[in-house]
Amino acid sequence: MNHIERQHAIVIPLALEAAFPLFTPLGEKLWFAEWQPEFIHPVDGTTQTGMVFRTRHGAEETLWSCIDYAPEAHRIRYARVSPATRFVTIDIVCRAESAATTSVSVVYAMTALSPKGESLLAATTHDAFRTSIEHWQTLVTRYAESLPA
C-alpha cells in the first residue's frame, strides 16, 4: 500500500499562547463548525497524551489518539485510523512569528489501507494539501477576527 507525506505552514493572526490551543480537539471546535469529536478518554475532552476520540465524516468513522502533547513546546501529534481507508499521523508545531502572529507547521504522513485509501492518497496532491491547510488559515483568521479586541 502507498505511503505519502505532506507538509505546509501557515501564519495566523494570534499570539502563540492563544494560537496553540486551537489545534487541540476542543480548540478546533471554536473555528471549525463541522468538527464534532466524540470523546472516549477522557470523556471531557481534556487534551493529553493518550486521549482517544472518534469523528465521523459522512459514512466514514475515524478513531484518533493524541500520541504526543507537549504544550511547553507548542507541539501536538495525533494518530488516526479510518479502518476502511487509511492510517494517518499529524504533527502540528506552532512558533511565534511576532508578538501577534503564529506560524503553524502541519505535517501529515498517510498510509493507504485499501484501494479506496489509495485513491484518497492519490487525490492528496501537494497542491490539494496546501489548499486544505490554507482553508484552516482562513477559518482560524475568521475566528480570531471575531474575538473582542
DSSP 72: G
- Tens-binned pLDDT, residue by residue, of the chain (149 aa): 799 999 999 999 999 999 999 999 999 999 999 999 999 999 999 999 999 999 998 888 999 999 999 999 999 999 999 999 999 999 999 999 999 999 999 999 999 999 999 999 999 999 999 999 999 999 999 999 998 87
Q: Which fold has domain 3-146?
A: Alpha-D-Glucose-1,6-Bisphosphate; Chain A, domain 4 (3.30.530)
d(CA 3, CA 89): 11
CB burial readout 98-111, b (16+ within 10 A) else e: eeeebbbebbbebe
